[in-house]
C-alpha cells in the first residue's frame, strides 16, 4: 500500500477545504466487491462481445441481448455488496467532506453503502431501473419483469431497457450537467479506480483541474490521469487506501 506520508499529504489537502470535495469513481472501486472492470486484459469485454448492449443491436434482437444482460448484470452483479471503499466514500459525504459523487459505475453500490441518492450522479446510468422504449415509464428491476424473455412494459407492452447508457447512446443530460457543475465548483477531486480513458466521463476530473481543483488519485496502477492532471497519486487497492485516509481524517 502507499506510504503513510502520501496519505498524510492527501489528508492535508482535504482538511484544508473540508467541505469542498467531490469523488469521481470507476470500475476499480467495485473490483473488490466481485464486479470485474469492462476494459483491460482481465476486463469483461476481453471475454464477452459487448455488441449485445449496442442500442441498435438491442432493438434488433432484444431477446438475445436480454439473455446476456440478465445473466451478467442482474444474476451476477445483483449479488454484489459494497466494500470498505464505498462505505468510506459514503462517510465522507455524511461528514460533509464530499459535495457529491460522480460515478461511471452502474452497480448502485454507492447507494447500498448509504450515500444519499441526491449526492450521486450516475454518469452512465443505473441497473436499478428499467425504462420503456415506447412510453418512457420507469420500473424497478423486479424478477417478474427480468425473467421475461423480452421484458415488456406493463402499461403499453413496449420493450423495456435497463436505464444505463448503451453503446451509441448519449449521456443522460441531468447527470452530465450536474457532474460538470460539481467539477467546476470543487476544491479537490478524489479519483478512485478509473483509467481516465472513457470519454466524455474522463473530462469531468480534467474540468475540475482546469478550474483549480487539487487532484488526488487512488489506483492500483498509473493511468491517463496520473500522467496529466494528478497532484497526489496513492497507489494501492481502493479499500486499503480509503481506510487509511479515513483513519488519518478521523472519520469514524
109 in Cβ contact with 30 (< 8 Å): yes
SS3 54: strand
Angle subtended at Cα 167 by Cα 67 and Cα 59, rounded to the nearest 5 degrees = 50
In the block, which residue shows the cell 425473467? 147
Radius of gyration (C-alpha) of the chain in whole angstroms: 18
State the cell numbers at 206. 480534467
Burial-class residue 211 by CB neighbours within 10 Å (0-12, 13-18, 19+): middle
> Out of 76, 86, 110, 124, which one is annotated catalytic?
124
76 is a catalytic site residue: no
Q: Are strands 21-25 and 98-103 parallel, antiparallel or unpaired?
A: parallel
Catalytic residue numbers read 124
Amino acid at each position: 500500500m502507499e506510504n503513510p506520508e502520501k496519505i498524510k499529504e492527501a489528508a492535508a489537502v482535504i482538511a484544508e477545504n473540508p467541505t469542498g470535495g467531490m469523488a469521481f469513481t470507476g470500475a476499480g472501486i467495485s473490483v473488490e466487491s466481485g464486479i470485474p472492470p469492462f476494459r483491460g486484459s482481465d476486463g469483461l469485454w476481453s471475454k464477452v462481445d459487448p455488441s449485445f448492449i449496442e442500442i441498435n443491436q438491442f432493438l434488433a434482437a432484444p431477446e438475445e441481448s436480454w439473455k446476456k444482460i440478465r445473466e451478467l448484470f442482474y444474476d451476477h452483479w445483483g449479488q454484489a455488496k459494497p466494500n470498505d471503499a464505498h462505505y468510506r466514500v459514503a462517510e465522507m459525504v455524511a461528514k460533509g467532506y464530499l459535495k457529491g459523487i460522480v460515478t461511471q459505475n452502474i452497480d448502485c453500490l454507492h447507494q447500498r453503502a448509504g450515500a444519499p441518492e441526491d449526492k450521486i450522479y450516475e454518469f452512465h446510468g443505473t441497473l436499478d431501473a428499467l425504462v420503456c422504449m415506447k412510453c418512457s415509464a420507469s420500473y424497478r428491476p423486479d424478477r417478474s419483469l427480468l425473467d421475461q424473455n423480452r421484458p415488456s412494459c406493463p402499461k403499453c407492452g413496449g420493450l423495456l431497457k435497463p436505464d444505463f447508457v448503451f453503446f451509441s447512446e448519449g449521456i443522460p443530460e441531468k447527470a452530465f450537467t450536474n457532474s460538470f457543475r460539481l467539477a467546476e465548483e470543487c476544491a479537490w477531486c478524489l479519483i478512485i479506480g478509473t483509467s481516465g480513458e472513457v470519454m466524455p466521463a474522463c473530462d469531468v476530473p480534467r474540468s475540475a483541474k482546469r478550474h483549480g481543483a487539487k487532484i488526488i488519485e487512488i489506483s492500483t496502477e498509473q493511468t491517463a490521469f496520473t500522467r496529466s492532471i494528478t497532484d497526489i497519486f496513492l497507489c494501492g487497492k481502493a479499500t486499503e487506501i480509503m481506510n487509511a485516509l479515513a483513519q488519518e481524517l478521523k472519520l469514524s
